[in-house]
Structures are given as structure tokens and as C-alpha cells.
Amino acid sequence: SQIFGVKNIGIFMGIGNESFASQITISTVSSRPLGISIADFNNDRILDFVIVNYSTYSISVVYGYASGRYSNPIIYFTDYNSFPVTLAIGDFNKGSYLDVAVALYVASAVPRYTIWKQQ
């Protein structure tokens, strides 16, 4: 079932003894996140994640830092009233960078976003 009052993503870091450290909370500001995927978008060998935001018609990318902290979310908007529900990550266009495909509840096409491009 969908939980429509969600405002946060919780992260639990493993500490190596079959347990986890206290939750790290990242606010999604009432965006109603429906899903999350993890990958190294900027090739720094630290995992980042992307969040599907149902009620704000967007996805958010959050970069991980070596310190165990995370960046503020960077938001990419889908079409108005598109209601993104899930996503997939891959190098869809063979451009050597990870792309994100977003499945939309109400739309005729699936937008694709290139998340990171090195200069």
C-alpha cells in the first residue's frame, strides 16, 4: 500500500557486527517518496541515491560523501501531473554516464534524465 504522508527518507549505516547505526534522516519536504535506488552517479566510489517523488512530479538525487553525510537533494522535475512511481538506472544511451528512466502514472512517454556529466 502507498503511504502518502511520508516526508523523509531514513538511512541506516551498517556497523559491521550485524547491526546498524542510528538512522540518518533526509527530508523530502512532503514529496511523498515512493521509491529509492542506489548507484555511484558521480564516479567517486561513494554510493548516491535517487528518490521518486510522487506528489511533486520529480526525482531527487542525493550525493554521498566519504564522511557518511549526504548532499541536499537536487531536484529534477517530470511533466506536470505526471506522477512518477518507479525508476530504473543504467547507461541507456551508451554515453558512459548513468541515466535514470522514470515510469509515470499519467503520461504518454517515459522521460530519461542524465544525472551526471563530467566537464
pTM over 0.85: no
- Res 1 pLDDT > 50: no
Q: What is the pLDDT of residues 23-38, one digit of tens each?
A: 888 887 778 888 899 9
CA atoms within 13 A on the CB side of 96: 4
7, 29 contact by CB (below 8 A) = yes
Q: Where are the domains of the chain?
A: 8-114
